[in-house]
Structure 1
Amino acid sequence: RSAGAVMRIDLTGKTAVVSGSTVGIGFAIAKGLAQAGAAVVLNGRTQEAVSAAIARISEAVPGAAARGVAADLGTAAGCAALVAAEPSADILVNNVGIFGPQDFFEIPDDLWARFLEVNVMSGVRLSRAYLPQMVERGWGRVIFISSESGLNIPGEMIHYGVTKTADLALSRGLAKRVAGTGVTVNAILPGPTLTEGVREMLRPAQEKSGRPVEDLATDFVRTYRPSSIIQRAATPEEVANLAVYVASPLSSATTGAALRVDGGVVDTIA
């Protein structure tokens, strides 16, 4: 490749499975991968949500090869159902996740278990299913969507932070496990991102104040994540842009990495 070559991401012929991809960052990643030519497999808990997301991708990316599987990946059975329906993937994005502020002393065991099942074990199960065949083919990409909360554990959401730290450990360990095979495993750490979930969280304040939700999200970042360098929430597309690059052949020397797209929230130079 000449030094002046333009960077082009072409994922034609690749199949990508993106967990939890009917809305938010997962949907934006699926759309970005489809725009790069990949066949994308969407996932959500209901067929209605999956069908709606497929329709949105088809509208945004004419000719996109998009299909989907409705399954709750917070269960072993749900993960098995997804793998049974889509037994092969070149790219796996472990995105599905749940969050929500709750005081540590009020979080019961069953909620801890649910957070671990959805945010960590879904990635364990899907990676265990799809990685061996990637290794066999000599090419593959596994991406874990962690969070800056995996480094900056939020005092108001400790259970979430713990699962996102676990995703970092899992990603790094798997990268070592498949070393030298042509398969890379990386984690992406978004910061505050203006997803549908965050819009919903800010809706009462929006209705009360009449201000645009983007302005309220900026206020949230400046108040609760004051170390942010961009001083605003990211868009799901900004997070997806990094994921699409990491999923591509261009990122072949990046593995075992924790890649931040957090707007500089984590105050460290490393």
Structure 2
Amino acid sequence: MKIDLSGKTALVTGSTTGIGFAIAQGLAAAGAEVIVNGRRPAAVAEAIERIGQAVPGAALRAAVADVSTAAGCAELIAAVPEVDILVNNVGIFEMKEFFDIPDEDWVHILDVNVLSGVRLSRAYLKGMLARNWGRVVFISSESGLNIPVEMVHYGVTKTAQIALARGLAKLTRGTGVTVNSVLPGPTMTDGVKAFLREMAAESGKSIDETATEFVRTHRPTSIIGRMAAPEEIANMVVYAVSPQAAATNGAALRVDGGVLDALT
């Protein structure tokens, strides 16, 4: 199968590092013009340079905006009025006891993980429907189905993304537009590496040993028994936004390493 996204414009939020960066690079390699988004101009410029080195001739554009706020989303929409592919990737997490999570933390994580996707989908989905082609993908998590007790607020936002994607998919009935969510399992992103580095420093073990121990302890149902690489998540996203995935709509696509112990 050869995925060709030539002539398509793709916006990936939070695409300067981690899964978002891997998705942006994967879409660029498939021929899409990719809009790289982040809050800091230097980080966006560095990401574009890295993708350009990995994918010679890649069509890349910068979009500096903080999509965790309504004003930031409006700024981004003004700079990029329409896209063919929207990947709502930006997200944050923190491990915190439920009783220690104040209202402001709940509001912030909802703004970043959920409302950013609501605002951008509201802006771009109408154009996709009018053109009768488009792809929207939400980067959710297996935590949206298997709520982690150590970060309940994160799990709630990931459940919301799955529900949002399913609801929006129903608006595309009979068109060439699809909306899906992708559910990664534990993934070795830069943020996770920083978290593991702290754990490794306390235990005296390596980051790789700490990552394996984390999966075995906190995600014991994992079949692969390891953290995924960002590129492994990106591969699913590239397929989901491709013409070949036209019959995949309203789905929650699992790239969880088998963490979810369920048939569906």
State the TM bucket, normalised to the shorter chain: over 0.9
Q: Is 1:119 aligned to 2:113, yes or no?
A: yes
Moved over 2 A (4+): 204-216
Cα distance in 1 between the residues matched to 2:179 and 2:85: 10
For 2:210, the equivalent position in structure 1 comes to: 216
For 1:65, the equivalent position in structure 2 comes to: 59
For 2:76, the equivalent position in structure 1 comes to: 82
2:149 to 155, 169, 184: 155
Q: Is 1:106 aligned to 2:92, yes or no?
A: no
SS of residue matched to 1:43: strand
SS of residue matched to 2:238: helix
For 2:159, the equivalent position in structure 1 comes to: 165
Question: What amino acid is the match of 1:111?
Answer: D
Question: What amino acid is the match of 1:99?
Answer: F
Q: CA deviation at 1:106?
A: 1.2
TM-score, scaled relative to structure 1: 0.95
For 1:189, the equivalent position in structure 2 comes to: 183
Question: What amino acid is the match of 2:187?
Answer: T
SS of residue matched to 2:163: helix
2:251 to 248, 253, 257: 257
2:11 to 1, 11, 17: 17
Q: CA deviation at 1:214?
A: 2.6
Cα distance in 2 between the residues matched to 1:209 and 1:215: 10
1:201 to 191, 195, 206: 195
1:39-58 Cα offsets, whole Å, 9 max, x none, are 10011111111111111111
Question: What amino acid is the match of 1:101?
Answer: M
Question: What amino acid is the match of 1:186?
Answer: N
Question: What amino acid is the match of 2:54?
Answer: A
Cα distance in 2 between the residues matched to 1:118 and 1:223: 28
Cα distance in 2 between the residues matched to 1:103 and 1:204: 18
SS of residue matched to 2:149: coil
Question: Percent sequence identity over matched residues?
Answer: 65
1:179 to 164, 173, 180: 173
Q: CA deviation at 1:210?
A: 6.3
SS of residue matched to 2:247: coil
1:39-58 matched pairs, under 5 angstroms: 39-58=33-52
Q: CA deviation at 1:157?
A: 0.4
For 1:230, the equivalent position in structure 2 comes to: 224
